[in-house]
Chain A
Amino acid sequence: MEADSRTRYRGGVLVDVIRTTPVDREVRHYRRWLLFAVLAILALVIGIFLVRFNKDRPVSYSDPEQHYKYGSVGSEPGGSLVDAVGGVLPPYWIFVALPKICPEKLPGGYESLGLIYEGDADLPIGVSRRYRLGFDQVGLNCASCHTGTYRAAAGGERTVVPGMPSHQLDLQGFFDFVLGCTLDERFTADRVVAEIERAGGDLNALDRFIYANQLVPRTREATLMLANRLKPILDNPRVTRWGHGRVDTFNPYKAIQFNWNLAQLPESELSGASDFPALWWQGPREGMQLHWDGNNTSLQERNLSASLGAGVTPVTVDHANLQRVADWIKELPPPKYPFPIDAAKAQRGAAIYASQCTACHGDHRFREGTAEQARASVQGTRVGTVQPIQSVGTDRQRLDSYTYAFASNQYTLYPDTPYQFKNFRKTNGYANQPLDGLWARAPYLHNGSVPTLRDLLEPPERRPAAFYRGYDVYDQQKVGFVSNVSAEGGRRFSRYDTRLPGNHNSGHLWGTQLSDDEKDALVEYMKTL
């Protein structure tokens, strides 16, 4: 007999005899295989899932300039699929499809906001791409706010200058669009997937499922949270809009990184917009009081902190890639003034500059030679130190937006790592900056309240009370950008009203008492900086 049997006892008493047939044995055999197969398939699926959703692969560029423009510093969302953190932009394909989902909100596409598309690149400068959480994500990098353009004339060729303030960028308009469209009722799973496919996104069934059931709702949720937190500064008539070329550095930081309720802060803290600074020639700046208000003396901490503003979090930051950028901008030379300079006039201006300006700002030697030589050229001056607010007299809102409470929150970031912040300090004024590449840093003062250098040499009451920002045609006479153009070919520039909170063009009276001739000569010299 082939059959086997098994006898069961319970408490010493025979309770059952279990017999099996060949079929029973066969079934038991193949069920074991079936279980094994099911477990193997399950393990495979989980494995594929883990590999896919844990893969973290930035699009990389070997050329440091390309890396600066398009490389990822980790501002794309990361962490884990179930608890994604970081990022202020939706996934790549949603980002690409967004202008098609809300066409009337952005008829000219991202370019009309001042984002720069080079050649046939799929993303503008300053937007990086990175495969994270199982999908292509996008994020902002340093170049988004620190790459500017200029033209000699309205019809002229546009020159892109990495490291230059993105004076042409309407960052607030960009956020308004991304937030507004994501929260628009047309932002539905069906429509998003359809627009993605129309835009060339070749989604497979799993992708479509995850887009429809995960990414679209989650993007909406994350945006809703972001919009709510930023509502007191983005959607508040008593808070001055940033306009082109400016950002409120610290208030979004308070809301996004530290979950502060901005509505509870005094309004005097909320209009803190300031100009994008230039990012070149950072090497000689090590040890200076950095940021407009000089709140930190460490380049590394300043860089890391600035990246947080682009959407990086301590969980998602890519230190190595950020370091590549930091190393490159240390050596990045400031751009030379690209138009003719009247050498004799500049010569006369040099003498005036030496008496009026060098003590606080250094001179043309700062941009020449090595970093050591540059630093030596400002040795013993007040360059890189804070000038008290009472003395400089410029608008204090930016200074007031950085508070003790905020500084103490910053110290909680990157705990127990080499990256923990140690050098943030509350100051009482604005730092004296070296003026390398000054011509490309218009408009002037920390809040960009004065359109040209020549205007800056006028007393405040004679500086333009209102002007337009964002137009990139250069004004070689007054040194700055042409500021009386309100729109051009689908781009609308922002009107800057110096009477609004945070926008005052008061202060910095140095040089205002000079004669017009002297002022012109001084401006001519400053082209050489």
Chain B
Amino acid sequence: MAEDVIFQPLQFRHLTVKNRIFRSSISGRWDNYNGSGTQARINWEESFARGGCGAIISSFVPVHLKGRILPSYAMIDNDDKIPFWRAVGEAVHKHDCKFIMQLSHGGRQRDVPGVENFMEKGMSSTDSPDTFHGLLCRAMSKQEIQGVVECFAQGARRAREAGLDGVELHASHGYLFTQFLSSAINDRTDEYGGPLENRFRFLQEVIRAIRREVGTDFHLQVKMNAMDENNALYPWEKKGNTLEEGIQICKWCEEEGVDGLHISMGSTFPHPMVPPGGFPPDELNWWYGGMVSSGSRAFLNYCFFHFKLLRPIFLWLWNRRKKAYPIEGVSAEACREIKKNVSIPVLNTGGYQDGALIRKYISEGWMDGVAIARPLIANRDLPHVLASGRDLPDRPCTFCNRCLVNAIANPLGCYELRRYDGDHDAMIREVMKVYDPPHFPAESAKSGHTFAVGA
């Protein structure tokens, strides 16, 4: 397999990754409530490095307390977080794997705002709430925008000081950058709203501030929406940015000195196309309850998940536009168009698992690498499987999105019972491995494994 494109190194300007498989950003609520990290996070990230990924893009790492999606994600809002992230980096580096921190701010998109944010609306480009959950927000003042720009710059500096290999700006999936970039969301009339170059201004200022803070030799990539499809769920919403606008933003990013692009799509998260695959109503009924107080439409959504008779209505809306896209490589076509227009390396995410498909896209120049999350949760050793010449693991990811919905309330992991032959206890044991080894290992215990379920 020496000539397998998947396992050729990927050369960025200031970073070389040993293969083309990136662990895409995915979180999990196992850090401390105040945003400081835990051993579980280190265990989690290391498991992917051990599995053979070339690089790991971190979880959603908020640059400010107000910008978190859910509590109990490790943050990078203060220098006191640097030692933790250094430990994460070292654990990953042991396996010849790079670690890229995803610098993030949720803006209005705070699925569970946390008790500290509960009494205030989220900060955004607009006063209009998010269209899915009804998450409330207010338009930031220019002064506040400058404050957030600076948070990102400091976040990048902390990442570099922690010895990490680069940073990624999460400008996709409806978070704060998307709220500025999207024509469907941004209704400002000042220099941050209106034409595309104005909507790009916030991202541009963050890129420049980071370059000012960390220099030009630190890897900086941007995760970007190819297009918004903002009306994929509710047909009466605006369509948002088109692929042409997405390409233009990517070209501007390149001009601003960004080292790589990570292409996805969708102006909310979750979004009918992102992550592609199912949307399990049973899990939504069990776990969405944790969000009913977060947004003005959340209770209504919950009713649609809870009452079986209403589920088909919601699922019809949710699945309406999906048919136009594949599940595996949902945004691959769009990525190819972007790749044609830029000269920096381009990654793509959205339903990658099949080795043959990844190989085809990379070798045909649609993209330079893929970022994978769910299939890697299901099989941490997916890169080793692909390297062995097989295109799929024995128990592949089914794209059921049960991991996604469980993440609201439970430790992140694969909750697809079929992958465990229906053995619920086996599933729980697998999920709980993230706590192994524990932060305080028992002296006598060899493995440190302490979570017992079943008989």
Using a CB–CB cutoff of 8 Å, the interface residues on chain A facing chain B are: 1-3, 21-24, 26-27, 30
Given contacts A21-B118, A26-B296, 12 further A-B contacts (CB under 8 A): A2-B119, A2-B121, A3-B119, A21-B293, A22-B120, A22-B121, A23-B294, A23-B295, A23-B296, A23-B298, A26-B129, A27-B296
A7 to chain B, nearest CB (A): 17
Q: Name the residue among B120, B129, B294, B296 with the largest chain A CB count within 10 angstroms.
A: B296
Query: How many A-B pairs fall under 8 Å by CB?
Result: 27
Cα A90 to Cα B294 in complex, Å, equals 58
CA distance A23 to B119 in the complex (A): 9
Q: Which residue of A lies closest to B293 (CB)?
A: A23
Complex CA gap A21/B298 in Å reads 14
Residues of B within 8 Å of A30, CB to CB, are 296
Bound: A23/B122 CA distance, A = 11
**Other-chain contact of B119, A22, A26, A27 (Cβ < 8 Å):** A22
Residues of chain A with a CB closer than 8 A to B296's CB? 23, 26-27, 30
Q: Is there contact, CB below 8 Å, between A21 and B134? A: no
Q: What's the minimum C-beta distance from A245 to chain B, rounded to whole angstroms?
A: 62
The reply to whether A23 and B136 contact each other, CB–CB distance below 8 Å, is: yes
B269 in contact (CB, < 8 A): no
Q: How far is the CB of B366 from chain A (nearest CB, A)?
A: 42
Residues of A close to B294: CB separation below 8 A: 23
For B298, the chain A residues whose CB sits under 8 A away are 23
Q: Which residues in A have their C-beta under 8 angstroms from that of B293?
A: 21, 23-24
Task: Note all chain B residues with C-beta closer than 8 A to A21.
Answer: 118-119, 293
Chain A residues lying within 8 Å of B129, measured Cβ to Cβ, are 26
Complex alpha-carbon distance, A26 and B298, angstroms: 12
A338 to B223, CA, bound (A): 100
User: Closest residue to A24 on the B side, CB-wise?
Assistant: B293
Chain B residue at smallest Cβ distance from A30 = B296
Residue of A2, A23, A24, A26 with highest tally of chain B CB at under 10 A:
A23
Distance A356 CA – B380 CA, assembled complex (angstroms) = 124
A45 to B129, alpha carbons, bound, how many Å? 31
A-B contact pairs, 17 of them (CB 8 A): A1-B119, A2-B119, A2-B120, A2-B121, A21-B118, A22-B119, A22-B121, A22-B136, A23-B134, A23-B136, A23-B294, A23-B296, A24-B293, A26-B129, A26-B134, A26-B136, A26-B296
Q: B420 at interface (Cβ–Cβ under 8 A)?
A: no
Min CB–CB distance B82 → chain A (angstroms)? 32
Please indicate the chain A residues that have their CB under 8 angstroms from the CB of B295 in the complex: 23
Q: Which of B59-99 contact A (CB under 8 A)?
A: none
Q: Which residues 126-142 of B sit at the A interface, judged by CB distance below 8 A? A: 129, 134, 136
| B299 lies within 8 A of chain A by Cβ | yes
Please, how many angstroms separate the alpha-carbon atoms of A26 and B118 in the complex?
13
**Assembly CA distance A30 to B129 (angstroms):** 13
Residue of B nearest to A31 (CB): B296
- Nearest 4 CB-CB pairs, A to B? A26-B296, A3-B119, A27-B296, A22-B121
Point out the residues of chain B lying under 8 angstroms from A2, CB to CB: 119-121
Residue of A nearest to B135 (CB): A23
- Roughly how many angstroms separate A22 CA and B121 CA in the complex, as a whole number? 7
B residues in contact with A3, CB < 8 Å: 119
Taking the closest CB of chain B, its distance from the CB of A31, in whole angstroms, is 9
- Most B CB atoms within 10 A — which of A1, A22, A24, A30? A22
0/1 interface trace, chain B 290-324, chain A, CB 8 Å (1 if under): 00011110110000000000000000000000000
Query: What does the 1/0 interface line of B136-156 toward A look like (CB < 8 Å)?
Result: 100000000000000000000
Query: In the assembled complex, which residues on chain B have CB atoms less than 8 Å from the CB atom of A23?
Result: 134, 136, 293-296, 298
Determine how close the nearest CB of chain A comes to the CB of B247; give it in whole angstroms.
37
Contacting residues, chain A, for B120 (C-beta < 8 A): 2, 22
Tell me how far the C-beta of A336 lies from the nearest C-beta in chain B, rounded to whole angstroms. Answer: 74
- Min CB–CB distance B70 → chain A (angstroms): 16
A26 to B294, CA, bound (A): 11
Smallest Cβ-Cβ distance to B119: which chain A residue: A3
Closest to A1 in B: B119
Complex interface residues of chain B between 196 and 242 (CB less than 8 A to chain A):
none
Assembled-state Cα–Cα distance A24/B136 (Å): 11
Which one of B119, B120, B293, B298 has the highest number of Cβ atoms from chain A below 10 Å of its Cβ? B119
Determine how close the nearest CB of chain B comes to the CB of A328; give it in whole angstroms.
Answer: 59
> Which chain B positions have C-beta within 8 A of A27?
296, 299
Bound CA span A21–B293, Å: 9
Q: Which residues of A contact B134 (CB under 8 A)?
A: 23, 26
What are the residues of chain B within 8 A of A24 when measuring CB–CB?
Answer: 293
Interface string of B428-441 (1 = CB under 8 A from A): 00000000000000
The answer for the CA separation of A24 and B134 in the assembled complex, in Å, is 12
Which residue of chain A lies nearest to B298 when distances are taken between CB atoms in the complex? A23
Closest CB of chain B to A77's CB: distance in Å? 38
Q: Which residues of A contact B119 (CB under 8 A)?
A: 1-3, 21-22
Min distance, Cβ B128 to any Cβ of chain A, angstroms: 12
Contact with A along B269-302 (1 / 0, CB 8 A): 0000000000000000000000001111011000
**CA A253 – CA B198 in complex, angstroms?**
86
Q: How far is the CA of A1 from the CA of B116 in the complex (A)?
A: 12
A220 to chain B, nearest CB (A): 34
Tell me, rounded to whole Å, the shortest Cβ–Cβ distance linking A115 to chain B.
Answer: 52
- A3 to B113 CA separation, bound complex (whole angstroms): 15
Closest A residue to B134 by beta carbon equals A26
Which chain B residues border A1 with CB–CB below 8 Å?
Answer: 119
A24 to B121, CA, bound (A): 12
Bound-state CA distance A3–B121 (Å) is: 10
Report the separation of the CA atoms of residues A184 and B120 in the bound assembly, to the nearest whole angstrom: 71
Closest Cβ of chain A to B369, distance in Å, is 40
Q: Which among A1, A2, A26, A30 has the highest number of chain B CB atoms within 10 Å?
A: A26
Nearest-CB distance from A199 to chain B (Å)?
37
* A4: nearest chain-B partner, CB-CB: B119
Task: Kindly report which residue of chain A lies nearest to residue B120, judged by CB atoms.
Answer: A2
**Which chain A residue has the least Cβ–Cβ distance from B129?**
A26
Cα A1 to Cα B118 in complex, Å, equals 11
Q: Which residue of A lies closest to B295 (CB)?
A: A23
In whole angstroms, how far apart are the Cα atoms of A475 and B129 in the complex?
Answer: 91
Closest chain A residue to B294, Cβ basis:
A23
How close is B40's CB to chain A, nearest CB, in angstroms? 30
* Chain B residues positioned under 8 Å from A22 (CB to CB): 119-121, 136
In the bound complex, CA of A30 to CA of B296 (Å): 8
Q: Nearest-CB distance from A366 to chain B (Å)? A: 78
- The closest CB in chain B to the CB of A3 belongs to B119
CA distance A2 to B136 in the complex (A): 13
User: How far is A193 from B136 in the complex, measured between Cα atoms in Å?
Assistant: 51
Least distance between A20 CB and chain B CB atoms (Å): 9
Residue of A nearest to B118 (CB): A21
* CA distance in complex: A2, B119 (Å): 7
Nearest to A34 among chain B residues (CB) is B300
What's the Cα separation between A21 and B136 when bound, in Å?
Answer: 11
Q: How far, in Å, is A54 (CB) from chain B's closest CB?
A: 35
Tell me the minimal C-beta distance from B118 to chain A in angstroms: 6
Bound complex: CA A24 to CA B294 (Å) = 9
Q: In the complex the two chains form, what is the Cα distance from A26 to B299 in whole Å? A: 12
Interface residues of B in 309-365 (CB under 8 A from A): none
Query: In the docked arrangement, what's the CA distance between A2 and B121, Å?
Result: 9
Query: Closest Cβ of chain B: how far from A273's Cβ, in Å?
Result: 61
A3 to B117, CA, bound (A): 11
Given the complex of chains A and B, what is the CA–CA distance between A27 and B121 in angstroms?
14
In whole angstroms, what is the CA distance A441 to B431 when docked?
A: 101
Closest to A26 in B: B296
A22 to B134, CA, bound (A): 11
Q: B259: shortest Cβ distance to chain A, in Å?
A: 39
Which residue of chain A has the shortest Cβ distance to B138 in the bound complex?
A: A22
Residue of A nearest to B121 (CB): A22
User: From residue A246, how far is it (CB to closest CB) to chain B in Å?
Assistant: 61
Within the assembled complex, what's the spacing in Å between the Cα atoms of A21 and B295? 10
Distance to closest chain B CB from A26 (angstroms):
4
Chain B, residue nearest A29 (CB):
B296
Cα A23 to Cα B295 with chains together (Å): 6
Task: Give min CB distance, B122 to chain A, whole Å.
Answer: 9
Cα separation A23 to B134 with both chains bound (whole Å): 9
Q: Flag B388-426 by CB within 8 Å of A: 1 or 0 each.
A: 000000000000000000000000000000000000000
| In the bound complex, CA of A457 to CA of B91 (Å) | 130
